[in-house]
Amino acid sequence: MKILIVEDEPKTGDYLRQGLAEAGFVVDLVRDGLDGLHHALGGEYDLLVLDVMLPALDGWGILQTVRRQGLEMPVLFLTARDQVEDRVRGLELGADDYLVKPFAFAELLARVRTLLRRGKSKEPEVLRAADLELDLLRRRVLRAGVRVDLTAKEFALLELLLRRQGEVLPRSLIASQVWDMNFDSDTNVIEVAVRRLRAKVDEPFEPKLIRTVRGMGYVLEAPEAMG
Amino acid sequence: MRIKALPRWPTASLTARLALLFAAMTASLLIVVGLVMGRAVDAHFRELDDHELSGKLNLIGNLLQRADSPQAWAALPQRLDDAFVGHDTVGVLVRDAEGSVIYAVHVDHFDAAHAAGDALPATGAMWQKGSRHFIGRETLLHRPAVADAPGEPLRVLLSLDISHHVHFLEQVRVRLWLGIALSAVVSALLGWLAAHKGLAPLRQVTDTARQLSAGQLGVRLVEGDAPAEVRELVEAFNGMLARLEGDFRRLSEFSADIAHELRTPISNLMTQTSVALSQTRTADDYREVLASNLEEYQRIARMVSDMLFLAQAENGRLPRPEEAVMLADELRALVEFYEALAEAQQVTMTVQGAATVTGDRLMLRRAVSNLLSNALRHTAPGGRIDIRLDCRAGRVCLSVSNPGEPIPPDQLARIFERFHRAGAERSRHGEGAGLGLAITRSIVETHGGRITVQSADGLTTFCIDLPQRLTGA
């Protein structure tokens, strides 16, 4: 997967490139709008990450030209301003997602993966990790062949973790995907929910699949994949 | 706000206008009175003079009647002289039909033309000679027939010197005008004085306003003896000052609070990082430091985005909420969200009622979410949080009650302020920067609602009051 980052702030750009490269993507970084546009038009990227405020040509300008050329790759905007007009304008021009600085890198990574997955391969009916099995049609969870009873929300949480196996999911993403709460709660409600899920699907069994990544979020990973 | 200037006096001060107005009123009143009085006095004198003239004519007529013998006729001038002696004001000219003068006294009182024989009107005339004023009239009297001569008509011209009356009237007029002018000046002065004194509080307002700066918002005007109209202004002005002072104080405290709230995590970060760098450590130690730093960064980032949200709300830049929001559905979703946490704390939550309001679903969720997390934080294990929706008279009351320590009244008033935390000793762990309730209030106010809190008998209740959305609207 090839990603283009257009970001003029030097530190942010470097860290984004490093982070995304380490997450397994092929990353190009350019520092101004015109370079960004040339790369975007000729580079066959799977995703563009654009800063709004850029020298020479701003993010909106790049997006407009890219879309006018008929390129349909997803575009993720980064902006320092949490302004509604910006959001509306971005969506009108055909942006796919939007992140306000400062953001957690885990959040960016999760969103990048969501965008890249969009419209791809048909979802399987059964999700698996090690001996954990989640049957979407029958709404049933088996661990080591034993039926595990989950509430609707626990089921949704486990489904999310399984679909995004190996990805660290930030708490805010979990809150938004499972409960549709698109704001930070100042409580440890996600922690508690994950703890309860663990108690049911992880604690009585080996190996442990759900892991806490301190300061970042949660990840579900089968041990062989961790190896 | 602009006040349209009066078209006539664009710049004259109120005091000047009032003084002028008083002067004009006094003058016009006195002028009318003066004119009426003048006319009356004039008419009175004219009547007196006419009366005197008629009396003299009667006298002449009587004397003529009695000259019915040649001796008497010959003695007539003597008798007339006797009659008019000492009457310097009366001029008489008696002529026979041919025009020869039979008797004359003070002929110089008459106009040259009349003295030469022109007729005076019988109704009377008025003329001036030098500085003297006269009235006069002419009449035909009959000389009775005597033995040697038949009766004949005699032209009698009579004049009366009325200079003293005219001069008196002139003097009265002059004094009247002087009096009017003086009164106008005096009343203008009085008006100016009254207005000047009455408006003194206004000048005080101006002076105070001119001296005001952020550091001196404690100044207040004295209402004292200000007139009722100005007192309202003074009260309003003092009210404005009080509100400004309050707002300004809160703003300053707010800035201080921001600095303080940021200082703690930044100082943690600096200490932790420099200690970590002071000697070589294992990779796990570094990882631990970085993870701990990340947590502090997240705290700061959340605070910054909450502050931004509040700033936008206060500047009225949040979007106008328009969709229909079924509050019961939102409450159920929120309860579902907090369910795990509540169960872990052995707290139950109940939802009752239903209502629809106009607003932004996500923002309202966020507002109620803050109330719920606040309630969860303050409810002891075994407690119950009741969430109710009540509709009354077009308003919706969304209330969240939880058992807990009563909040002291002085804290209740400040509970929605930014960075306010119930109990300063409360640990920071798992808690936001004290912006949650402030955000809730901003959202509620953006929706045209109000939020209140009550705390008594071990029960704390927050109530969000919102306008109800009418069905079909």
Q: Are residues A56 and A143 in the same domain?
A: no
* pLDDT-based confidence at residue A226 (cuts at 50, 70, 90): very low
Q: Does A83 touch chain B (CB under 8 A)?
A: yes
Q: Are residues A57 and A81 in the same domain?
A: yes
Residue A190 domain-assigned (yes or no) = yes
> How buried is residue A77: exposed, middle or buried, by Cβ count under 10 Å (0-12/13-18/19+)?
buried
> What is the mean pLDDT of the segment spanning A125-134?
88
Q: How many domains does chain A have?
A: 2
Residue A215, pLDDT > 60, answer: yes
> How buried is residue B198: exposed, middle or buried, by Cβ count under 10 Å (0-12/13-18/19+)?
middle
* pLDDT-based confidence at residue B105 (cuts at 50, 70, 90): confident
Q: Are residues A204 and A101 in the same domain?
A: no
Partners of residue A100 in chain B, C-beta under 8 Å: 305
A194 min Cα distance to partner chain B (Å): 9
Partners of residue B319 in chain A, C-beta under 8 Å: 84
> How buried is residue B273: exposed, middle or buried, by Cβ count under 10 Å (0-12/13-18/19+)?
middle
> What is the mean pLDDT of the segment spanning B177-185?
89
The confidence score (pLDDT) of residue B10 equals 56
Tens of pLDDT, residues B362-390: 889 999 999 999 899 889 999 999 999 99
Could A181 and B365 be called an inter-chain contact, meaning their C-beta atoms sit closer than 8 Å?
A: yes
Q: Are residues A36 and A94 in the same domain?
A: yes
Q: Name the residue in chain B with its Cα closest to that of A152.
A: B336
CATH assignment at residue A200 = 1.10.10.10
B291 min Cα distance to partner chain A (Å): 5
The confidence score (pLDDT) of residue B346 equals 93
Partners of residue A214 in chain B, C-beta under 8 Å: 291, 294-295
Q: Are residues A92 and A14 in the same domain?
A: yes
* pLDDT-based confidence at residue B298 (cuts at 50, 70, 90): confident
Could B318 and A84 be called an inter-chain contact, meaning their C-beta atoms sit closer than 8 Å?
A: yes
Residue of B336, B347, B377, B420 to mutate when probing chain A, most A C-beta within 10 A: B336
Decide which of A76, A95, A119 is a domain's last residue: A119
Question: Would you give the DSSP letter of residue B215?
Answer: G
Tens of pLDDT, residues A82-100: 665 666 677 777 788 888 8
Q: Are residues A112 and A150 in the same domain?
A: no
Question: Would you give the DSSP letter of residue A73?
Answer: -
Q: Does B377 touch chain A (CB under 8 A)?
A: yes
Q: Are residues A23 and A93 in the same domain?
A: yes
The confidence score (pLDDT) of residue B399 equals 93
The confidence score (pLDDT) of residue B446 equals 86
Q: How many helical (H) and strand (E) elements, i.e. helices and strands, does chain B have?
A: 11, 12
Q: Name the residue in chain A with its Cα closest to that of B312.
A: A83
Q: Are residues A143 and A202 in the same domain?
A: yes
Residue A110 domain-assigned (yes or no) = yes
Q: Which residue has the higher pLDDT, A118 or B425?
A: A118
The pair of three-digit structure tokens given for residue B327, joined into one six-digit string = 């509050």
Decide which of A100, A119, A138 is a domain's last residue: A119
Q: Does A185 touch chain B (CB under 8 A)?
A: yes
Partners of residue A196 in chain B, C-beta under 8 Å: 340, 343-344
The pair of three-digit structure tokens given for residue B272, joined into one six-digit string = 């932790």
Residue A21 domain-assigned (yes or no) = yes
The confidence score (pLDDT) of residue B393 equals 85
Decide which of A91, A119, A147 is a domain's last residue: A119
Using CA atoms, how far apart are residues A175 and A191, in angstroms rounded to an integer? 11
Q: Does B337 touch chain A (CB under 8 A)?
A: yes
Residue A27 domain-assigned (yes or no) = yes
> What is the mean pLDDT of the segment spanning B15-36?
87
My answer on whether omega of the bond before B153 falls inside 30° of 0, hence cis, is: no
Residue B473, pLDDT > 50, answer: no
Using CA atoms, how far apart are residues B443 and B362, in angstroms rounded to an integer? 10
**What's phi and psi for B157, nearest 5 deg?**
-105, 130
Using CA atoms, how far apart are residues A217 and A202, in angstroms rounded to an integer? 17
Looking up tokens 């973790």 gives A161
Using CA atoms, how far apart are residues B219 and B248, in angstroms rounded to an integer? 14
A138 min Cα distance to partner chain B (Å): 22
Q: Are residues A113 and A143 in the same domain?
A: no
Residue A109 domain-assigned (yes or no) = yes
The confidence score (pLDDT) of residue B430 equals 43
The confidence score (pLDDT) of residue B49 equals 87
Residue B243, pLDDT > 60, answer: yes
ipTM of the complex: 0.71
Is beta strand B459-467 parallel, antiparallel or unpaired with respect to B395-403? antiparallel
Tens of pLDDT, residues B397-453: 999 999 988 888 888 878 888 776 655 434 444 455 678 888 899 889 888 899 999
Residue A199 domain-assigned (yes or no) = yes
Looking up tokens 């190896």 gives A227
Residue B36, pLDDT > 80, answer: yes
The confidence score (pLDDT) of residue B422 equals 53
Q: Does B436 touch chain A (CB under 8 A)?
A: yes
Could A183 and B365 be called an inter-chain contact, meaning their C-beta atoms sit closer than 8 Å?
A: yes
B235 min Cα distance to partner chain A (Å): 40
Q: Name the residue in chain A with its Cα closest to that of B428.
A: A186
Non-local CB neighbours of B348 within 8 Å, separated by 6+ positions = B342, B383, B384, B385
Using a pLDDT cut of 70, give the percent of chain B over it. 92
For residue A165, give its domain range.
126-220
The confidence score (pLDDT) of residue A29 equals 92
Using a pLDDT cut of 90, give the percent of chain A over it. 29
Restricting to B residues 257-296, those with a Cβ less than 8 Å away from any Cβ of A are 290-295
Tens of pLDDT, residues B49-96: 889 888 888 888 888 888 777 788 888 888 888 888 777 888 888 888
B253 min Cα distance to partner chain A (Å): 23
The confidence score (pLDDT) of residue B432 equals 58
Q: Model-level pTM?
A: 0.60
